[in-house]
Structure 1
Amino acid sequence: MQAKVKKWIVQLASGANVATILVMLAVGYSDRLNPASHPLMATLGLTFPVFLAINAAFLVFWAFFKLRRTLIPLVGFVACFGPVRTYIPLNVNSNPTDSCLKVLSYNTFLWGGGEATEPQRWEMLNYVKEKDADILCLQEANLGGKFQATIDSLLNSIYPYHDIKEKTTIYDRLAIYSKYPIVRSERVMYPQSEDFSQACWVAMPGDTVLVVNNHFATTGLTEAQRQEFKSMLKGDLRTKQMPSLGKSLVHKLGEYAKIRAPQVQCVAQFVRKRKGQSIILCGDFNDSPISYAHRCMAKELTDCYVASGNGPGISYHRNAFYVRIDNIMCSDDWQPLKCVVENKVKTSDHYPIFCLLQKLRK
């Protein structure tokens, strides 16, 4: 009788493990779907870590229950190697040299917004000062008011060259600060929109580098919806509320993924037309590593975090949306040596992402 029960458990668990892998594959490769045609399916990438964790749990289960069956989750990880590496890369970092270019990208959330205290804003500014990046890309960088003058004064004292572009569609500022001369800049206009990304040509020793700073469309979720999502994950909502809430959240996420798609395509085309030039691209994609937005851009440039980072690198950390949505990418004349998402300063809803880039000889 005991043998029959064990056999039944093995068969049931094996089937569940295979089903998990099939779903993990579907979710892992959902970034192939254009949100313009499949807005709801294109949001599946957000669930990828759930199925990744379930498959890992099966690996532990089989290790104790039936060792040979560990092949099932291991085959699943191999089949899904691309998405797994994109979501949670593991790398052995090379030793940086003094000639490395230091790049920092940071969505400051209006330097913490109206709720932040002055000491908290100084903590953010001191962090930026201490990183001493050669190129600094900021998003949502316009606090306004009296303290903005302090911010501008400090950053201008560190960086002799800067380009600031205010967005009119939303309360946003894109800013590129550089220790090297900015020879020209322009807006990369999105189709049928007043919104844009920022492009600057930076004159560095031996080459001119195109730096592109982005802040693509948000998820569209209100603060109330974010709180409801957090409550849903905690199980604080009534069971009857969850299906309708889940459906409305997915619909909203799909709707804004559809808005982001042409924005990302526009910037990807801008980069593609300049193939052969030295390019560094930064910013807040407002989408997960398993998304059409990320894949579209990673087809043109190297994702510095995937190439030289370790772990999930969570950069957005509010309301249970713990995911890496901030990125630094580069053309193939650069080698990313170390890319990290640093969680020292928590005033913004984003953590900054920092990368050391080594210029390769032609």
Structure 2
Amino acid sequence: MRRSFAFKCTVLLMLWVLAAIACAQIPAYTFWPAIFGALTLPLALGLNLLAGLYWLLRRWLVALLPLGLAVLTWPHFQRGLAVHPFRLASAAKEQAGGPVVKLLSANVRIFNVYPQLRDADLTSSREMVRWLAENPADILCLQEFYNEPVGTRSRDGNVFRTVDQIGRRAGREVFLSKTLTNSAGAEFGMAIFSRFPIVAKGTVSFGKLTQNHAMWADIRLPSQDTIRVYSFHLQSMSMEEKDIVDSYSSKAGLKQKGLGLLRRFKRGAVARHWQVDTLVRRFERSSYPLLLCADLNDVPYSYSYDQLADHFQNAWATVGNGVGSTYNGRLPFIRIDNQFAGPQWRIADYQVHYDIPYSDHFPSTATYQLRGSKEAE
């Protein structure tokens, strides 16, 4: 009877895994409850793996069912917990091929310019700008960017003259996608910096041009290959970290904050899923090798991530080890910032910079190599 009950539970677990995977492929604007089914996928995958280990000790033929499903769904497991124990040895080997590009992505949180984000002597702002300016990456994609051009009325001197410091003085071209210029002349938006020539550029607005938009740049490499780099910032979850922590800290907090958080999460998911569908259609039309830098504002077990992972290699899932969290806050193990690469690329390395804590997002850098040096038409 115990084995019969365990077998039924195992079958139910396997069905749960399949149902959660299906939920991750349903956009919230068609059936929003699916977003919560998708969020249960890491738990379902973990329990299914445990069930396989249990049956190995009891009856190995039965173990073939959950373990077989674990093998088939391993890419989904890797989305949340990457496992590449031999990566360092293989990455060290030089491989013949096309040109190499080092790409940095970071949500810089407007360099902490707002009063509630500042610290003494603007130390975090200065250090963040200095680190970016001195970083050896060939291309930088910065979300929530802020710049004070010459003529801006400011009491902060040259601290926030970021285009000059990260761009021109560091030998980089810049494409600044401005969403707002305030009354003092300061600029808000996103930016792409490149040590290689930017030969074309553009933006993708999701209706009105706001901080939540996408930008792209066609970049000519020294090999004369042209690549297209996208940087995008999807709709925020619109939830304060304190409210989330309060909601699961006590029953009173859950009662007070829970319903409001649910509504905001739903609205954010609907917007993000529509936005990512808009972008994927554009990606499919590109004739150049693509590299994507994204503040998804969504976790790896979501429709947003799933649509990108179906078409592109995720840098962390391909070469990383562990969770690869990028959120710098009280909520642990959250990876909402990602880099993706098209099939023309080999991902050699990916790193999250936990030693750069100046924003609520940790920066990431990745090294990519074109599999063949061939100019796209």
TM bucket by the smaller chain? 0.7 to 0.9
Question: What is the CA RMSD across the aligned residues, in angstroms?
Answer: 3.1
Give the C-alpha shift of residue 204 in structure 1.
1.4
Partner of 1:201: 218
Q: Secondary structure at the match of 2:355?
A: coil
Q: Secondary structure at the match of 2:349?
A: strand
CA 159–16 in structure 1, closer or farther in 2 if over 3 Å, else same: farther
Letter in 1 for 2:215: Q
Normalized against structure 1, the TM-score is what? 0.82
Q: Percent identity?
A: 22
CA 193–129 in structure 1, closer or farther in 2 if over 3 Å, else same: closer
Give the C-alpha shift of residue 141 in structure 1.
1.9
Give the C-alpha shift of residue 155 in structure 1.
0.6
Partner of 1:100: 100
Task: Report the Cα distance in structure 2 between the residues aligned to 1:169 and 1:30, rounded to whole angstroms.
Answer: 40
Letter in 1 for 2:143: Q
Give the C-alpha shift of residue 61 in structure 1.
6.5
> Aligned pair 1:187/2:203, yes or no?
yes
Pick the aligned partner of 1:313 from 301, 310, 324.
Answer: 324
Partner of 2:132: 128
Partner of 1:22: 15
Partner of 1:115: 117
Partner of 1:270: 282
Structure 1 residues without counterparts, runs of 5 or longer: 1-6
Letter in 2 for 1:277: Y
Count of aligned pairs between the two proteins: 346
- Matching of residues 229-240 of structure 1 within 5 Å: 229=247, 232=248, 236-238=249-251
Structure 2 residues without counterparts, runs of 5 or longer: 149-153
> Aligned pair 1:165/2:203, yes or no?
no
Task: Report the Cα distance in structure 1 between the residues aligned to 2:59 and 2:133, rounded to whole angstroms.
Answer: 52
CA 243–300 in structure 1, closer or farther in 2 if over 3 Å, else same: same
CA 199–222 in structure 1, closer or farther in 2 if over 3 Å, else same: same
Task: Report the Cα distance in structure 2 between the residues aligned to 1:344 and 1:283, rounded to whole angstroms.
Answer: 20
Give the C-alpha shift of residue 96 in structure 1.
6.5
CA 172–253 in structure 1, closer or farther in 2 if over 3 Å, else same: farther
Partner of 1:256: 268
CA displacement 1:160-217 (0-9 Å, x = unmatched): 3011112249995211000011122211122x33343111111212112211110011
Range 290-299 or range 43-52, more displaced:
43-52
Give the C-alpha shift of residue 75 in structure 1.
4.2
Task: Report the Cα distance in structure 2 between the residues aligned to 1:165 and 1:104, rounded to whole angstroms.
Answer: 17
CA displacement 1:128-174 (0-9 Å, x = unmatched): 34541000000012276526435344212224301111224999521
Question: Is 2:24–2:34's contact at 8 Å kept on the other side of the alignment?
Answer: no
Letter in 2 for 1:78: V
CA displacement 1:96-115 (0-9 Å, x = unmatched): 65952100100112224543
Give the C-alpha shift of residue 259 in structure 1.
0.7
> Aligned pair 1:220/2:238, yes or no?
yes
Q: Secondary structure at the match of 1:142?
A: strand
Give the C-alpha shift of residue 82 in structure 1.
3.1
CA 28–300 in structure 1, closer or farther in 2 if over 3 Å, else same: closer
CA 336–122 in structure 1, closer or farther in 2 if over 3 Å, else same: same
Identify which of structures 1 and 2 has the higher relative contact order when contacts are C-alpha pairs closer than 8 Å and 6+ apart. 1
CA 167–87 in structure 1, closer or farther in 2 if over 3 Å, else same: same
Task: Report the Cα distance in structure 2 between the residues aligned to 1:193 and 1:321, rounded to whole angstroms.
Answer: 33
Letter in 1 for 2:245: Q
CA 337–151 in structure 1, closer or farther in 2 if over 3 Å, else same: same
CA displacement 1:264-310 (0-9 Å, x = unmatched): 12221111111x31221112011112221122223333322222222
CA displacement 1:51-77 (0-9 Å, x = unmatched): 4444455567677x7575765653452
Task: Report the Cα distance in structure 2 between the residues aligned to 1:132 and 1:46, rounded to whole angstroms.
Answer: 37
Task: Report the Cα distance in structure 2 between the residues aligned to 1:40 and 1:244, rounded to whole angstroms.
Answer: 21
Question: Is 1:302–1:331's contact at 8 Å kept on the other side of the alignment?
Answer: yes
Give the C-alpha shift of residue 248 in structure 1.
4.0
> Aligned pair 1:211/2:226, yes or no?
no
Q: Secondary structure at the match of 1:110?
A: helix
Q: Secondary structure at the match of 1:329?
A: strand
Pick the aligned partner of 1:141 from 122, 145, 162.
Answer: 145
